[in-house]
Structures are given as structure tokens and as C-alpha cells.
Structure 1
Amino acid sequence: MTEDASTTAARDLMAEFADLTGLDPPRAHPRRYLWTDAYAVCNYLELFRRTGDEDYRDLALRLVDQVHHTLGRHRDDDSRTGWISGLSEEEGEAHPTRGGLRIGKPLPERRLDEPFDEQLEWERDGQYYHYLTKWMHALNRTSRVTGDPVYLSWAVDLAKAAHAAFTYTPSSGGKRMYWKMSIDLSRPLVPSMGLHDPLDGFVTYSELQAAAGGTELATEIADMARLCRAGVPAIDDPLGIGGLLFDSVRIVQIASQNVSAYEELLASILDAALVGLARFAGSGTLRNPPEYRLAFRELGLSIGLRGMEVIVERVRKNPALARRAEGLVRYVPLAAAIERFWMDPNNQKAGTWTGNREINMVMLATSLAPGEFLTV
């Protein structure tokens, strides 16, 4: 697909998304979901970059505002009101991310007296660390594109709040992380640690640090660096593999000309991605009909694969990393194959598409126009 065709397709997808969720035309009670909205902000910024149409920049800024005023505040069905940070109205407006941001799930969070139900927990609200890091990235891109430092300051506020709440020191020593926290960040809802959350935190904090040009997140970065020393586990989930490639493309940009400083970490990430891709490609999943496939998970992989050109270029002078990157290049055609499959209107009739419509369409748009999402 040519850039003009991909831009047109991305524009159509993002126009539909804006209408469906109450962004444009604006609704009094828009439907906001943090993961999807983080990708959407980057998509609108990319469409602004490609077309020069300031309406897309304005949509990105309106979306940031809606997210903060929806997911930064308590739910309508909650007895609590106001900013989830507990700040006053005035302070909350100035620092909307200091209490983190809700996921945006349909059901309220689990009460203290309710038993844990693994299936039901997926539909309950709270805060996810890996959603917060995506929003930090979206805020950084917004700051870079607009030149307004307030968005970066909100990203740093969010990084500090998330790190303080999600990391803890067990009796055995060292740092660990919770996977899911309550809306007010006062208690863990799922105490296990996400496989790649420490890596995601390390890369995202480093991105913000580089953008801010200071050492404001030095302690947080050091904590995550220690958590990453155990290495990066391989998984065959396409969304997880795409996340590893997304982290890799950010690292090589943060490193600039000093990629060797991150050699051990990058080698671990690329090795894990290669093992996972070999497993996934050999599983036959991409030969299944749409009813047995999840678009947003596959599109996570295609987005990551769209960053391989940058990775290859940035590591070419490092033989060990270049060899690993070249091993991944042969999987790049999977990105176009995944995009073609989910662009097919017949495949979009499947329940696996319609049941996750907004996240599917936004991540398809990101894969078609990934520039802003894949930039630090």
C-alpha cells in the first residue's frame, strides 16, 4: 500500500473512531479507554504531520483533554467524586495525571470484600501499568509535536505516580511490580508482575528523561534497570512480540549514536523477539479464519515490525546487534499480510473484529501510519 493509500485508510478509520467514541462530534459522556486512546493520539499527530491539516492536531489535543477529564476522575457510578488523585479541582486541572489514569473498563473495580474472579477481573476497572506507559509516550509525542512542555510535565508526573504505586520491595529484598492497581492506587488488584512491564518502564522513563534533558527520573530508571537484569523472556503472543520491537525501536533512537551502551539489553530483547516470532509464524495462526484470530493482537505485531527498518539502520555498525536484527527482517512481510487481512471488509464482519471494534480500528490505523507512534 502506498503512503497516500495508507494515509487515506488511516484517516477514514480515525474519523470513524472519533464519531464512535464521542470525540468528534464531542459528547458529554465520551467513551474513553486508555490503551486505545494512547495509540489514537499518536495517529492524529501522524495524520497532522502527513497532511498538514491542523484539525488532526486539534483532535489529538481534544483527546488528551477528554482522557484526563474522564479517566483521571472517578467513575459516574462511584460514590467518590473528583480527581482520582484527590487533588482539588484547580490543582487537578494543573496536574491531571498525578493520581494515574483509569483503564476505562465497563465494570467498577473489585471491592475489598469481593472475592477475586479471574475472568471478571478482565472487565473491571482499575489501573494497568502498561497502559500508563503508553499514555506517557503519547503525552511525550504531543509535547514534541506542539512544542508545549506541559504535556511532557504531565508524562513525568504520571511516571512518578505509577512507579511509586506499582513497584514495591518484598521481604526478600529487591524490587517487584504489581500488574493491576485500584483506581486510587491504594491497593493491588492483581499482585503478579507483567513479563515485560519492567522493560516497558525502563524504556519509557528513559524516553521521558531524554526529552526533558534532566535527571528527574534517574531513581526510577535505576530501579527498572535492576529489574531488567534477569533478561527478557520470550513469548509467542503477537502483541507481546510487537511490544518488544516497539521497545527496541525506541531504545535505538534514545541511544542515538551510542547503541553499544545498550548492547546487552538490546541483544536480550531482539533474541526474545526472534524466538517468539519463529514460534508464532510456525503456529499457523495467520492461516485461520477471522473468527479464530484477534486483530488488535496481530496488529500489535505489525506495528512493531514497521519499526524494523529503523532498528536495522541504527545497529548496522554493531555486528552482534546487526546479526540479530537481520534475523528478524525476514518476518517484516507479515506486517503487510496482517494489514491486508484486516482491511478486508468481509473479515471485519467477524465477531472478533466487531467485539473489539475501536481498539482494532485504531491499531490498524497505527500500523498503516506508524510514524509518530514509533518515534521518541
Structure 2
Amino acid sequence: MKLIIQIPCYNEGGTLAVALSALPRYVEGFDSVEWLIIDDGSQDDTVEVAKANGVDHIVKHSGNKGLARAFMSGIDACLKFGADVIVNTDADNQYNADDIPKLVEPILQHRAELVIGARPIETIEHFSPAKKLLQKLGSWVVRVASKTDIPDAPSGFRAINRETAQKLIVFNDYTYTLETIIQAGQKDIAITSVPIRVNEELRPSRLVKSIPSYIKKSIITIVRIFVIYRPFRFFGTIGLILFSLGFLIGLRFLFKYFEGNGSGNIQSLILSSILLGMGFQTLLIAFVADLLSANRKLLEDLRFKTAQSHNINNNKKFRLESEDPKNID
């Protein structure tokens, strides 16, 4: 069993050494523990620090692609290097690395395939009230969309088994945290959370450059999540609201008309017609979006089965080469 701990990095030369010094080289249940960093176009000495501190694998982006792309590049590389379990953590040493054994335990016991480290949000001093509120809001939205009970959805401290890692696809460029949990809920992946500890802040969050920016990006992320993963509910709700408003305004016009005041309420008739038309069209979009969502799921399943077949063929090839007398010293 191999565990690979991956760390997405962007200009993390000042904190990476601290984070790496805390990582374990042995975790019970695994034969080997390796470290991997994803250099997301860093312009400082991140790579040099990683090499000096014994990182086993380095994945480089030619430019800054964003946290979500860095996360997925790391997942792909970990699978390539034969990881059975992948742990994702941050380069700013936010998460307490001593909790890694606790994080992987549900996977080793076959109780879960994806494990999220739940931070003590209320007691983290450097989190502003607005950020705490948004963390709770984001977690609530994810629970509704994914039908899971994860209390800290934005947490990046997580463990993933190999099969689940092969299934994950992230469309969002901003962050991977919310989307991967929703995918887990939709794909019937066994997911759970464990309480973890956090360390003192070494630097301000890169994702939260300012509260207004964080609010804006969080709202966009949440809306996109619903559009992608719950399209029928999203467009259907909007369509029903518009159609219902148009229907009620139309009833009001009819009431006035039969009272003999219809000529003075033509505006209500026009508004009712517009809202009914918009509502009906939005409901049609809901059905089309639902069909597209079903097609996406089929493509994701095909991608997963293709990846599994490729891995099986590679394993067979490896065994055949090992059994060939020419390859024996």
C-alpha cells in the first residue's frame, strides 16, 4: 500500500519548508509514504525548497493555472506513481499533519472512500465573522446539493482512495473543495469527515484576497454548482416562480375584467403573458439541462471505465515482464 501526500504550491517558498517538516514518512497501514508537490507556475524558490526538503515528486505547470487545476494535476500524477491513497494538504501548514493517520483511517477500515478533515471553524481566531459565515453557507449548499452531511466542505485537508480519485473531475477553476464533495454524493462514493486540528496562520489565505472578492467568487461557485449538478432543480425552480407569478397576475386581470375594470389593467395582462412565456421557456431549459447532465454522467462513467481498463492492462504487462526469464537478474 502506497500513500502519497500532495501539496498544491504557488510561490510557497516562505512556508513550504515548515509544512514539509511536519509531514510523516511512515503512516500505519502503508508500506511507503511519498510526498508530491504541484508547482503552479511559482516565481520564487518553491521548487528549490521542495528538493532541499526531500520531496519525491514535483509536477510543474508552465504558468499559474489556479488551485483547482493544480489539485487535479496532483491527483493525476499520484495515480501515475501508483498511489493507493492520496492525502491533499496545504503549503501554508494550515492543517495539523499529525492528524493524517486519523484522516486515512476510515479508508483503511473500508468505511469511506473520501474523507474530509473538519476544522473547528468557530474557534479559529484568524477567520473573520464574514468568512466563518461563508464557510457555513458553502457547507450548507454542498450538503443540499450532494445529500451528504459534511460539516466543513471548503476544507482542503482530505484523503482519497485510488478508485475515487479516478472518478473525480473538477470543472471549477477557483476551487475544487465544494465540487468534489458534490460529485461524491452523486456518484454514490462513501464519504465521511473526521475532526482535525489547525496550526497558527503563517500567511494570509490566497483564496481570500478580500472579503468582497471572496463573497463574489463564493456566490458564483455556488451558483455554478447548482447549474452543473442540480440543473433541473435550479432552472425548474426559476421557471416555476416565473410561471406562478404570471399565473397569479393573470388571475388578477381576469378578476378585474369580470368586474368590468379590464380595460384599465392591460399592463397586468401584458406582464402576465411575458412571465408565463418566460416561465414556460425556463421549464423547457430545465428538461434540456437535465438531459445534458445525464449525458455528462455517462461520459464520466466511460472515462472511469477506460482508466480502469488501462490500469488493468498495465498491471498485466508488468506481471508478464516480471515473469520473463530475460528480466531476471
More helix by share: 1
- Normalization by structure 2: what TM-score? 0.26
- Normalization by structure 1: what TM-score? 0.24
More strand by share: 2
Q: From the CA coordinates, give the structure whose radius of gyration is larger.
A: 2
